[in-house]
A and B are shown apart, each in its own frame.
Chain A
Amino acid sequence: MPPTMFSLTTSPIIPSDLLSTIPESCGGVVTFEGRVRNHHQGREVLKLEYSAHPVLAESEGEQVMVDALARFPEVTLARAVHRHGTHNLGDIAVLVIVASSHRAEAFEACRWIIDEIKHRVPIWKNEFYRDGTSEWTGCEGCRHAH
């Protein structure tokens, strides 16, 4: 059984933990961090709460990575971690790491993976605002992309 390429966690994500596993054949490593920002559509955000479907988020996330390797055969290694639970401003919510011999496919695959994760993996975001309200946000504009 191949190692898991996608995982869910409730702990803080530490990029260096994943970056220590890059093979020496790789000349290009692209890292994407999705972080909690302090604003959304003009409203001041205080924190986020992510929730996930416990089974499907892992299996669909893993499938995204399998699809990525099939689509970008030059990629040597691809990993992604998504955190759920409470996040404070600046926290990393998702991390994607792609390594390959050369940079071009690493950039391309990394972009593809984060877009696929957003579209396909059952994770939801509840934003809490300065004014005391909260709202489930994220995907109103891309309903037809599913």
Chain B
Amino acid sequence: MKTEVNALILAGGRSRRMGTDKASLMLEGQTLLQRTAGVVAPHASQVYLSVAKGGQRETSLPVIEDLETNPGPLGGLQAAFAQQPEKPWLLVACDLPLLDDMTLDTLLRENDERKPATAFRNRLDGRAEPLCAIYKPSAANALNDYLSRNKRCARGFLESLEPTLLDLPSPLALDNANRPEHLNELTSLARDGMREKTVTISYYGKLSSEVPATPEAVTTTAATLAGLYEEQRLTLGLSLDLDVVKPVINDAFTDWTTPLPDQAEVAFLPPFAGG
């Protein structure tokens, strides 16, 4: 049986990396926020938009204001429980461009009533994904306690609840688009499908000390260089974000949106430090 939930869409924070408000980022003629609300609506009794304390946002959705200034995503959930403590909440980030019906169906159908939360495993590192998850009323006290200890990490909180964890039915559904390069990666994958490629990757400078010594062939389904780097960053635990790294294909500088060819020789260059 499907659980009846309210949905809370998170769009409160400003996106530093997009250089713009990521909720208003356009995808196929809609903002990411409009798209997310459209996907979520059939699965929830009511969809709310989480907004900053005193924040303004043009929306037709009912809003729930944070109780504190800049409390992070968990602050949105706290405000939702404060308003409706008896309902389970489906907490959803607005920056999941490939979120789909099948994913939400699975989450609501597989929800275990006895657990305080139900969530998916991240497709790359297997850890719990906090921003497309169901939080039951039994999680509300733990949340207040967590926030009162000045903790803010949504993933840390979810893991502390020992949630039911599910495998993603559509692997890309929870890949988030923090940056334009990642949105491009995801739209490329959605358009062209996930195709397997074999590439070799060389790392230089600081990155070279964080990976196995010899470059080895890597099998990937990434569509662009941004997707490949993100995949490697998460699986190898690389310390540098894409914004300070330069990508190289076949010994030529290129940019992150470049489609990844099969058999490519890729290099990732950290900030230069010659002289």
Show the binding face of A for B, using Cβ within 8 Å.
34, 50-53, 55-57, 60, 82, 93-94, 114, 117-126, 136-140, 142-143, 146
Contact = CB atoms under 8 A, between A and B. Distances in A.
B19 interface: no
A53 B203 CA distance: 10
Nearest to A143: B244
Nearest to B274: A123
Interface in B238-253: 243-244, 246, 248, 251-253
A136 B246 contact: no
Contacts of A50: 274
Interface in B151-210: 204-206, 208-209
Nearest to A119: B272
Interface secondary structure of A, over-half rule: mixed
B75 interface: no
Contact of A122 (B206, B269, B275): B269
Given A56-B251, A124-B270, A136-B270, A51 B275 contact: no
A121 B271 CA distance: 10
The 9 closest A-B pairs by CB, nearest first: A138-B273, A124-B205, A123-B274, A139-B271, A136-B206, A118-B275, A55-B251, A125-B273, A139-B273
A121 B251 contact: no
B13 to A, nearest CB: 22
B272 A138 contact: yes
B273 A123 contact: yes
B80 interface: no
Given A53-B269, A93-B275, A121-B274, A136 B205 contact: yes
B267 interface: yes
A141 to B, nearest CB: 10
A138 B252 CA distance: 23
Interface of B: 204-206, 208-209, 243-244, 246, 248, 251-253, 267, 269-275
Contacts of B274: 50, 52, 57, 82, 93-94, 117-118, 121-125, 138
Contacts of B275: 34, 82, 93-94, 114, 117-118, 123
Contacts of A137: 273
Interface secondary structure of B, over-half rule: mixed
A143 B272 CA distance: 9
B273 A136 contact: yes
Nearest to B275: A118
B233 to A, nearest CB: 16
B273 A53 contact: no
Contacts of B253: 56, 60
Given A34-B275, A51-B205, A126-B209, 14 more contacts: A56-B252, A94-B275, A117-B274, A118-B273, A118-B274, A121-B272, A123-B273, A136-B209, A136-B273, A138-B271, A138-B273, A139-B271, A143-B243, A146-B244
Nearest to B239: A136
A57 B270 CA distance: 13
Contacts of A60: 253
A51 B271 contact: no
Contacts of B244: 143, 146
Given A143-B244, A146-B246, A53 B204 contact: yes
Nearest to A82: B274
Contact of B272 (A55, A94, A123, A126): A123
Nearest to B210: A136
Contacts of B243: 143
Given A82-B274, A122-B269, A136-B270, A53 B248 contact: yes
A85 B85 CA distance: 64
